[in-house]
Amino acid sequence: MLQRVVPVDEGGDGVPQALVVVPTRELCVQVSRDLAAAGAKRRIRVQAIYGGRAFEPQVQALQNGVEIVVGTPGRLLDLAQQGHLILGKVKVLVLDEADEMLDLGFLPDIERILAMVPDKRQTMLFSATMPGPIVTLSRSFMTQPTHIRAHGNDEGSTVPQTTQFIYRAHNLDKPELLSRVLQSRDRGLVMVFCRTKRTAQKVADELVDRGFAAAAVHGDLGQGAREQALRAFRSGKVDVLVATDVAARGIDVTGVSHVVNYQCPEDEKTYVHRIGRTGRAGSTGVAVTLVDWDDIPRWQLINKALGLGFDDPPETYSTSPWVYSDLDVPETATGRLPRSQRTREGLEAETLEDLGETGKRNRPAAGGRGDSRRPAGDRPSRDRASGDAAEGERTTGDGKSRPRRRTRGSGAAAAGAAGADLGGGSVPASDASGQGSGQSSGQGSGEGGSGKPRRRRRRGGANRGGGSESAA
């Protein structure tokens, strides 16, 4: 691909000539970095286009001109539909992790992208696992394709350099068992895979509490936090990366000696990709899979598909002697890492980049719901405010203060309203005004209050009638 693109120094016009589509953001960052390093001699410009970060820097890079674009389907389609990404001159199209890209989730987006690139192009598909149905589907996008197998068969297989151990473990004992595995002698970096985002975060937090330098990578984290964890893992500031399957596809980190499947993978393809993070480029590795009782049927399907020979995993606990012998764990190892071995800097030592992330949930600032959290006595009352504006607080017979609203205007109007409320008797204006002012203090404890319970905070001005009933 690098040989077919023409950089600007050799007469290129800055319009993308090659497009690489990948399923995950982490893989996008890795592929773009590797291509940029490989094309540095010819000054080939490579731009990563993926979601979770601001549009503006990516749009600006495309306007400045690039030769190769590496991206995830969603953001590629967004920029292409807005006119910022021009795909009309693409000569090479690459689908990395093609079995994932052509699966049901990505297939509609891939078809839309294929409609934007020229029909005359070179198309390449790469994956460690290439099931038969995916190969058949891929032929509809290609002309006379050639299927090249570098290793294994179509359904994928494990490499012999990776030693595999399968243990049937209880869910409540898995943290203790994992702590022993992480204390194996001469181990390097370790990747721990979980099926759910919540489990990944929980396991990472528990490992940190036990003294291990661990970080989590999963979909609930912002893009900045995900890249921070991967940078810390690559640099060795943390030596345990707990991840969902978002990191199982194509991520290449040098020095990973152990892979732990904390939860049983969904299928054989996921298993192959997970344990493929170790034993790379001729190195040796260790893969440990902890299978819960509920996952035994799923594991047996994986075992049968790959022909591994682990039909009935042994029931294993953190105190089982074969754990120490199989994985070369010291006999003195406990569930916590000794303080003398806590030499890693940790995730906090890695800078958290501000990527101008998109799609953040705007959390209310502290005190944003102050009115609802404020004690009842501190809440402003509309009745109290209007009462203060009218005549201030009046004290009832039981010593409690309540708002009092007096009808403003002529005494005759007030008297007429009070008379109508009593059933029709006319009251002189002077008497009405006297009742309104002279007997207001006895309203709560007078004869009217004792004969009929008064409803609190009634509104309506002259129709309240409490004082008039007491006078009657």
Strands (E), 72-211: 92-96, 122-126, 162-169, 189-193
Residue 93, helix vs strand vs coil: strand
Question: In the chain, which segments carry CATH 3.40.50.300?
Answer: 8-141, 162-349
Residue 371 has pLDDT above 90, yes or no: no
pLDDT at 18: 95
Taking residues 387-391, what's their average pLDDT?
A: 43
Give the separation between CA 70 and CA 101, rounded to whole angstroms.
14
For 160, the token pair is: 């012999």
> How confident is the prediction for the chain on average, in pLDDT?
79
DSSP letter (8 states) at residue 340: G
Could you read off the pLDDT of 293-336 as tens digits, one per residue?
999 999 999 999 998 989 999 999 999 999 999 999 999 999 99
pLDDT at 408: 57
Beta carbons of 253 and 280 less than 8 angstroms apart: no
Domain 162-349 has CATH 3.20.20.210: no
Which parts of 279-427 fold into alpha helices (H)? 296-306, 321-327, 370-373, 382-390, 411-422
Specify the fold of 8-141. Rossmann fold (3.40.50)
Top mean-pLDDT range of 223-232, 443-452, 453-462: 223-232
Give the separation between CA 256 and CA 1, rounded to whole angstroms.
29
Find the helix or strand (DSSP H, E) in which 76 lies.
helix 73-81
Residue 222, helix vs strand vs coil: coil
- Kindly write down the DSSP assignment for every residue of 367-387, as one continuous string: TTTHHHHS-GGGS--HHHHHH
The burial class, CB within 10 Å (0-12 / 13-18 / 19+), for 146 is: exposed
Residue 381 has pLDDT above 60, yes or no: no
Stretch among 29-33, 150-154, 207-211, 233-237 having the lowest mean pLDDT: 150-154
Determine how many CB atoms are found less than 10 A away from the CB of residue 20. Answer: 24
Could you read off the pLDDT of 189-243 as tens digits, one per residue?
999 999 999 999 999 999 999 999 999 999 888 888 888 999 999 999 999 999 9
Beta carbons of 329 and 189 less than 8 angstroms apart: no
Give the separation between CA 75 and CA 271, rounded to whole angstroms.
28
Centroid of chain to Cα 447: 66
**Sheet with 92-96, side-by-side order of all strands:** 46-49, 68-71, 18-21, 92-96, 122-126
The burial class, CB within 10 Å (0-12 / 13-18 / 19+), for 273 is: buried
Could you read off the pLDDT of 257-288 as tens digits, one per residue?
999 999 999 989 889 889 988 887 778 899 99
Which one, of 141, 219, 210, 134, lies nearest residue 174 by Cα?
A: 210
Residue 447 has pLDDT above 60, yes or no: no
Residue 171 has pLDDT above 50, yes or no: yes
Give the separation between CA 60 and CA 76, rounded to whole angstroms.
15
